[in-house]
Structure formats: structure tokens, C-alpha cells
Chains A and B, each alone.
Chain A
Amino acid sequence: MPHDSLKMGPHDVGGESSQTIDTHDHGMTYWEKFSNGLRMAVSSTGIIKLDELRLVAEGFGEAYFEMEYFQRNGLALVALYKKKSLFSETEFQLELDNQKKNFKVPIIDLPNPKELVHLHDGVAHTHKGADFQEDEFGEGPPDFYFDMLATAAILKNKKIISQSDIQSRIEKFDSVFPFRGISVVTKAWVDADFRERLLRDAKSAIKDMGIDLESFADIICFAQSEETHHMVVCTLCSCYPRTLLGMPPSWYKSRSYRSRVVHEPRAVLEEFGIIIPASREVKVHDSNADMRYLILPQRPEGTNGWSEEALSKLISRDHLVGVGVPDNVI
């Protein structure tokens, strides 16, 4: 590639050749949700800035893509706190040891079957000391999770954030944010006046629906049409309208998606199962700075008179990023 000498670092992947995209969303483990909730809670305090965090992550060099997304961003947070002397290495190590103690359970020391009753509904929990904790695959937490727990504990002690700051964000990412974008789309499908306002000034149209995006970024909405197919990528990191769509799916954060969409969007779309006719323009939006994007799919044929609730069942998150289109109803 002719621009290789200008590359800023391992994160600057737009235009690279890369592998086939794993188009499945792998979801998030509890540890990842916690790390994300912590990061969002810290961001809202204004003590550290997003661009500072990005710079630290970019400075990881070769390790950048060796780390999973949440590990990379979580460890960037810890490194930045230390760099800014918001807590000391000693303070951190002490708290890290404390957190690890809570998870120290001999692997052969299985729970007494008589104590298993606490797992059943309606029976009071009797957790004592170090309960074994695992995720849905039966695996314990990854190493970086302890860094996250220690950071959270220190920040709680310093009264910078509270447990509920983290918890409320975990809950909103699970049960509020992912449904907002869908409700915006169904409203635009049934209300021509709203659609027009959404395309002209998405941020205020969404605000008028009573949705507070709690975000610094502006939102721009583009409508799919017979003339143009829109799709969104962030080649430098994974900018995404999180408070409107929820967390980005795993493929959105992957090196392969970030590398390839800008230079072979049609091949990428085929991997997601859609073929765009050559007569239709494919327009890629690299979401690299202060705007965030919502793609408004075409309303499927055969849905005249449908309620917003019925229409919402036809929409998936992929449609709102432009890597999928809702099926017509026959």
C-alpha cells in the first residue's frame, strides 16, 4: 500500500488486506460488561478524556491486536490512571492482591452438595468468603478483570465513582440502549414528518422522542434507498453510537472488518449475505471523529398498516450499521 509510511501505528488498519470476517456477534462475558461499565462510569467523571485513552491503547504497539478489545481498553484505563498519578503503583498492587484473594478457591474443593440449595430460586444466599465465580462457559475471570476490580475498588474508596455508577451502566447496555435505535427506525417508518426531521437533524429528533443519548457526539442518520447503500465502520478504533445501539458487535471491533470495509465494501457485504447491484452506489462512512451514524433501512414491502411493535420485530442491529437489510414480508 502506498500510504504505509504514513501509518500511525498498529491501530491504523484501514485499507489493509485481512482475513474473512467472522460475522457472528460473540456477545460479552460478565467481566467484559463490568470493564465496559467501569470505563463508561470513569469517562463520565471527565477526569480522563477519550482521546487520552486512545493514545495509551495505540501505544501498546504489537500487543494492540494481541489483546482482546476489552482487555486493551481496560488496561489503557489503568495505565492512564497510573501515568496521571491518580493512584500509585503500590496502592494498585495492594488492591490487586485484595481482589485476587476473593477468587482463590482450590479447584478440587467442590462445594458441599448440602450448600447448593442456595442456587435455587427463593432461597436466601449464604455465600461465605470465597465463592467460586465463573462465566457462562464455566471459566474464571481473565487476568485483566482483576485490574478492573482493583481500579473500581480504589475509585470507590476515593469516592470518584460508586458501585451503582458501574451497575447502572451494565444494566442500560443490556436492556435500554440496544432497543433505542430500533424504536427510532420504526417511528421514522410510520411518521413521515419525523423521518424528515431525523434525516435533517438526528440528534434533536431523537431527543424529541425523549431519548437522552448522554453523549458528546452528534448523530447523523442516512436512509438506505434504491440509489445508495450506506454502511459504517471505524477504521481507527470502534466509534459507534453506543447509547443508541448498545455495544458494538464483536465483528465491528475486529481487525478484519476495520481493515477491509473501506477498500472492499462489496466483498464485505457479501460475507454478511447481501449483494448490492452495481447500479446502486455503495457509500462507506468511516466514523473516525466526532460524528456517530445511524442507518435507516428501507421499510420492508408488505408491511402496510403494521404497528411499530410489529415492525420492530423485523429489525436487527446489523441493519442499523448497514451490513444487513430487513427482509420484505411476502
Chain B
Amino acid sequence: MSYSGLANPKPKFGLDEKIIISKRGSQGHCRTPAYIRGKAGRIERYCGNFRNPEQLAENIKDADIIPLYRCVFNQHDIWDNYNGPKTDTLEIEIYEHWIERS
């Protein structure tokens, strides 16, 4: 369930905004797969605010409530050797602290 309320952060990124997924390592549990780190795409939609899964996995009390987005990428921008038309895309959910402005 998403969380809405005054205490929640407002989403930093807007619809269709060009973004890059952070290219950094991670410790513990994380929902940002390696293959998408460092890749350039854009915001498809803002999904609402959710508890940070990296903290939930460590059973941290009152884990941060953070914006989640769906990001869209051209397949050719993810894979050097993608075997398909230029129009093929991939969409994935990314929490805000993994997203950078391009």
C-alpha cells in the first residue's frame, strides 16, 4: 500500500523527465537490479510513496517512506547487442534514491 500524507516527501522527478539510474554498489537487500544501474531512461509515472525495502529487510523500525517511480528505457540503451527493433522498451520500478537527473 502506498502512503500519502503531509509528512511524506513530494516526488522530485516529473513525468517524462530524463533520468539515469545510479551506478553504484549496494549492501544487503535492494530492489535495483544490477543490469539497470547506470542506464539512461525517463520517468513513466510516479507510483506513490512506499517504505524503503532496504530498511524493511533489516527490520528497521519506521523505515523511510520514499517515492517510487516506474522508469522506461529503450532496450538498445540497456543492452549493447539487443536483437530487436529500436522501438522495444523495458519498464521497471525504481525508488527515488536510486535516480539521478541526466
Contacts and interface: CB of A to CB of B under 8 A. Distances in A.
State which size class the interface on A falls in: 35 or more
B18 interface: no
Contact of A218 (B30, B33, B48): B48
Interface string B22-51: 011110111111111110000000011010
B35 A15 contact: yes
A317 interface: no
Given A6-B34, A54-B57, A290 B68 contact: yes
B91 interface: yes
Given A15-B35, A218-B2, A49 B56 contact: yes
Given A52-B56, A289-B50, A8 B34 contact: yes
Contacts of A84: 59
A14 B34 contact: yes
Contact of A216 (B1, B28, B38): B1
Contacts of A283: 88-91
B91 A285 contact: yes
Nearest to A230: B91
B92 interface: yes
Interface in A1-31: 1-8, 12, 14-15
A147 interface: no
Contacts of A267: 83
A216 B56 CA distance: 14
Contact of B83 (A8, A235, A266): A266
Contact of A291 (B54, B70, B82): B70
Nearest to A281: B87
A52 B59 contact: yes
Contacts of B88: 265-266, 281-284
Interface residue SS majority, chain B:
loop
Contacts of B23: 6
Interface in B68-96: 68, 70, 75, 78-80, 82-85, 87-95
B31 A288 contact: yes
A262 interface: yes
Contacts of B35: 1, 3, 14-15, 235, 262-263
A142 B16 CA distance: 50
A51 B92 contact: no
A265 B87 CA distance: 13
Contacts of A218: 1-2, 47-48
Given A6-B25, A6-B37, A283-B88, A49 B57 contact: yes
Contacts of A5: 25
A3 B33 CA distance: 10
Given A265-B84, A286-B90, A289-B93, A51 B53 contact: yes
- Please provide the 5 A-B residue pairs with the shortest distance between their CB atoms, ordered closest to farther: A289-B93, A51-B57, A15-B35, A55-B29, A51-B56
Given A6-B37, A263-B78, 10 more contacts: A5-B25, A14-B36, A49-B59, A51-B53, A263-B79, A264-B84, A283-B90, A286-B33, A289-B68, A289-B95
Interface of A: 1-8, 12, 14-15, 49-52, 54-55, 58, 84, 216, 218, 235-236, 262-267, 278-279, 281-291
11 contacts: A3-B35, A51-B56, A55-B29, A236-B33, A262-B78, A266-B88, A282-B84, A283-B91, A288-B92, A289-B68, A289-B93
